[in-house]
Amino acid sequence: MKKRLSACALLLIGWLGTGENNVQAQTPEQVFNAAGPPQNPKVPISWNRYYDYAGITEICAKLAKAYPDLVKLETIGDSYQGKRIWALTISDFNTGDPFRKPAMYLDGNVISNELQGSEFALYTAWYLVENFQDNAFIRELLQQKTFYILPTINPDARDNIMHRINSANATRAGMIPLDDDSDGLVDEDQPDDLNKDGHITFMRRKSAKGRYVVDPQNPLRLIPAKAGQSGEYELLGYEGLDADGDGRMNEDPPGYYDPSRDWAWNWQPDYIQHGALKYPFSVPENRAVKDFVLRHPNIAGAQSYHSNGGMGLESLDAVEEGNTENQGHNQVNDLLKRYAEQVIPGYTYQLVYKDLDSAFGGKLNWLHHARGIFTFSNELMSPYLQVDRQKTKDPEQEAGPVDVNYMPPFQDAYVEWVPFEHPTYGNIEIGGFKKNFPQAHPGDLLQEDAHRNMVFTLYQAYQLPQLEIREVLTRKLSNGLTEITATVANTRILPTHSGQDLKHKIERPDYISLKDSTVVAGMVLHNPDQQPGREQKLNLARLEIPNIPGLGFIKVRWVVLANKPNLVVEVDSRKGGVVRRAF
């Protein structure tokens, strides 16, 4: 056996070659490239891990340096602790002003322990620029559209959960110190790591009144006892102490507020919506994002990444569903979410008010209702990614839901339960899962799910309005007048104004202009044969159009006092871009 091993080793050494640098990477001729992510990116990034604020900053800077014609990096404001909030503008800068193109907004990590939103947003930025040269679809997309990508809008809390001792369910908050229970104390120290193992895990004790038993598939995990089954353990929450003797453990964490309840649509104070702060946009990070969105009225679509649950959320009020103004909006949302459910297996799309508990002051609602943006919020991690939801025990029976108890345990996700003498609870045990599980994706699933969610984001961006001036027809009239009729089409499914936009008159109308100074009449034709149409009384050369529908068109007409008019037509839409054509 020893001789055989030596022979194999010698053969391997001979194949690799000799010398100091004998191990060579495979040559391009030896590689069969997989479709999708680039094989030799300018900015190599490992997508099986999570990056802290410094890591995110470094990735953003490297992308901007490697692709100056595609990426602009800017700061939109500072966090409470003074960290810069980064925004990436991604577009083909050589094909027009990014501000005048229809734009897709993308952000992540508004909540501290929902980390993967940052990696998903960064993956989208990276994939776009690295594939621009060789992927015709992406090249066309960045020529026509702009992406605004904010990887983390809660950088203080992101670093807090990564670098300090925390539990998997650390506070959702940012870092503004608050007296959570009005006892005059604010604990700005790290939570109590009672057994000094570097992790905040759970406390449990044996009890006849316990409702939990040990998971037979994973002895480090507790699961609820089944009906009729006696429980063995009482779960006491995360490990910690009652610092001020009021009977509460681990209270007054730094910044106990919810940045997802700080937005100025249907905002409610804390006694109604727990987690709200003083007033809408009282959180500095959210104010910076709000100001950025207001400065970019070309944002027509948005995606905000959260975790977890495997859900895509959208926002429509129950009273609005029957409104004719929202019919087109709802149809567009239905088309988008049907596509998303195809490319993101296991995800279901739900209305916030209808399928989930009501929440007030959310960013999803603000973007949709206050800004008229077609907005989704994907709740990311779900058991579907680890086990098939449909599991059939008997081939003749219909498939049923999988018991998530069968999820395979991850070696590095749990710590052993160890005894501890607690000053309040007495003899207990400390252990269970760590903060890298279960909200955060395991490394092997991170890139796959980031890619699938990115595909949906790119599809939504592709379907932002795309305007074309199809034709301009002229007809001679008497007395030196000429009639000019122009057709403007929108070749994608999103209209230039959403139902909410039309209802609340959020954005200005679209303009269709004839660049001729001799216009004496201008009108919008509601159908091609209508005479004379809806005439505009003022500013005759620049016609105001309330909306250019998705996969639809608008016809306009001018009468000019000229035998040879200037046949230059321009369409200027906040969310549909600017198109100019001479005939």
Confirm whether 305 is domain-assigned. Answer: yes
Q: Which of 100-114, 126-140, 382-396 has the highest mean pLDDT?
A: 126-140
Confirm whether 10 is domain-assigned. Answer: no
Per-residue pLDDT at 134:
93
- pLDDT tens figures, 537-574: 999 999 999 999 999 999 999 999 999 999 999 999 99
Confirm whether 203 is domain-assigned. Answer: yes
Higher confidence at residue 354 or residue 257?
Answer: 257
Domain match, 414 and 482 both = no
Per-residue pLDDT at 218:
82
Q: Is the pLDDT of residue 342 over 70?
A: yes
Q: Are 468 and 459 in contact (CB under 8 A)?
A: no
- What is the domain range of residue 344? 67-173+261-381+451-464
Provide the pLDDT confidence category of residue 31 given band limits of 50, 70 and 90. Answer: confident
Least confident of 62-66, 201-205, 406-410: 406-410
Domain match, 130 and 99 both = yes
Mean of the per-residue pLDDT values of the chain: 84
Rounded to 5°, angle at Cα 319 from 354 and 359:
45
Q: Are 298 and 452 in contact (CB under 8 A)?
A: no
With a pLDDT cut of 70, the percent of the chain lying above it is 79
Domain match, 507 and 488 both = yes
Q: Is the pLDDT of residue 406 over 60?
A: no
Q: Is the pLDDT of residue 173 over 70?
A: no
Domain count, the chain: 3
Provide the pLDDT confidence category of residue 485 given band limits of 50, 70 and 90. Answer: very high
Provide the pLDDT confidence category of residue 384 given band limits of 50, 70 and 90. Answer: low
Confirm whether 19 is domain-assigned. Answer: no
Rounded to an integer, what distance in angstroms lies between the CA atom of residue 443 and that of residue 577? 39
Per-residue pLDDT at 324:
54
Helix (H, G, I), strand (E, B) or coil at 428: strand
Q: Please report how many Cα atoms fall inside a 13 Å half-sphere around the Cα of residue 209, on the Cβ side.
A: 1
Per-residue pLDDT at 358:
67
- State the pairing for strand pair 212-215/218-224: antiparallel
Per-residue pLDDT at 401:
43
Provide the pLDDT confidence category of residue 534 given band limits of 50, 70 and 90. Answer: confident
Following CA atoms 124, 125, 131, 135 in sequence, which dihedral angle do they give, to the nearest 10 degrees? 60
Helix (H, G, I), strand (E, B) or coil at 520: strand
Domain of residue 478, CATH code? 2.60.40.10
Q: Please report how many Cα atoms fall inside a 13 Å half-sphere around the Cα of residue 123, on the Cβ side.
A: 27
Strand partners, 402: none
Confirm whether 141 is domain-assigned. Answer: yes
Domain match, 310 and 345 both = yes
Q: Per-residue DSSP letters for 455-485?
A: HHHHHHHHTS--EEEEEEEEEE-STT-EEEE
Which of 93, 76, 88 is CA-nearest to residue 118? Answer: 88
> Does the reported pTM lie above 0.85?
yes
Q: Out of 114, 130, 285, 379, pick the active-site residue.
A: 379
Domain match, 132 and 265 both = yes
Helix (H, G, I), strand (E, B) or coil at 318: helix
Rounded to an integer, what distance in angstroms lies between the CA atom of residue 217 and that of residue 408? 8
Write down the number of H helices and E strands in the chain.
11, 25
Per-residue pLDDT at 411:
64
Confirm whether 20 is domain-assigned. Answer: no
Provide the pLDDT confidence category of residue 408 given band limits of 50, 70 and 90. Answer: low
Domain match, 153 and 269 both = yes
The 3 state secondary structure assigned to 233-281 is: EEEEEECCCCCCCCCCCCCCCCCCCCHHHCCCCCCCCCCCCCCCCCCCC
Q: Per-residue DSSP letters for 476-516?
A: E-STT-EEEEEEEEE-SSS-SS-HHHHHHT-SPPEEEEE--
The 3 state secondary structure assigned to 384-399 is: HHCCCCEECCCCCCCC
Confirm whether 26 is domain-assigned. Answer: no
Per-residue pLDDT at 18:
43
Q: Are 154 and 112 in contact (CB under 8 A)?
A: yes
Per-residue pLDDT at 256:
61
Which of 357, 278, 265, 266 is CA-nearest to residue 311? Answer: 357
Domain match, 369 and 310 both = yes
Per-residue pLDDT at 186:
62
Work out the average pLDDT over 161-185.
70
Domain match, 419 and 492 both = no
Provide the pLDDT confidence category of residue 241 given band limits of 50, 70 and 90. Answer: confident
Instruction: Kindly tell me the sign of the dihedral angle through the C-alpha atoms of 356, 360, 361, 365.
Output: positive
Mark residue 195 as left, alpha or beta (left: phi above 0; alpha: psi -120 to 50; beta: remaining). alpha
Higher confidence at residue 395 or residue 582?
Answer: 582
Is residue 29 flagged as an active site residue? no
Which of 114, 428, 113 is CA-nearest to residue 240? Answer: 428
Instruction: Kindly tell me the sign of the dihedral angle through the C-alpha atoms of 332, 335, 336, 338.
Output: positive
Kindly report the length of the chain: 583
Domain of residue 162, CATH code? 3.40.630.10
With a pLDDT cut of 90, the percent of the chain lying above it is 54
Name the burial class of residue 348, with classes exposed (0-12), middle (13-18) and buried (19+) by CB atoms within 10 angstroms of its CB: middle
Domain match, 135 and 191 both = no
Provide the pLDDT confidence category of residue 255 given band limits of 50, 70 and 90. Answer: low
- pLDDT tens figures, 68-127: 999 999 999 999 999 999 999 999 999 999 999 999 999 998 887 788 999 999 999 999
Q: Per-residue DSSP letters for 109-154?
A: -SSTT-THHHHHHHHHHHHHHHTTTT-HHHHHHHHH-EEEEES-S-
Q: Is the pLDDT of residue 16 over 70?
A: no
Helix (H, G, I), strand (E, B) or coil at 64: helix
Q: Is the pLDDT of residue 21 over 80?
A: no
Domain match, 337 and 427 both = no
Domain match, 473 and 568 both = yes
Q: Which residue is listed with tokens 């008159």?
A: 505
- State the pairing for strand pair 218-224/482-490: unpaired
Q: Is the pLDDT of residue 243 over 50?
A: yes
Confirm whether 251 is domain-assigned. Answer: yes
Per-residue pLDDT at 270:
85
Per-residue pLDDT at 397:
40
Higher confidence at residue 319 or residue 375?
Answer: 375
Per-residue pLDDT at 35:
84
Domain match, 243 and 103 both = no
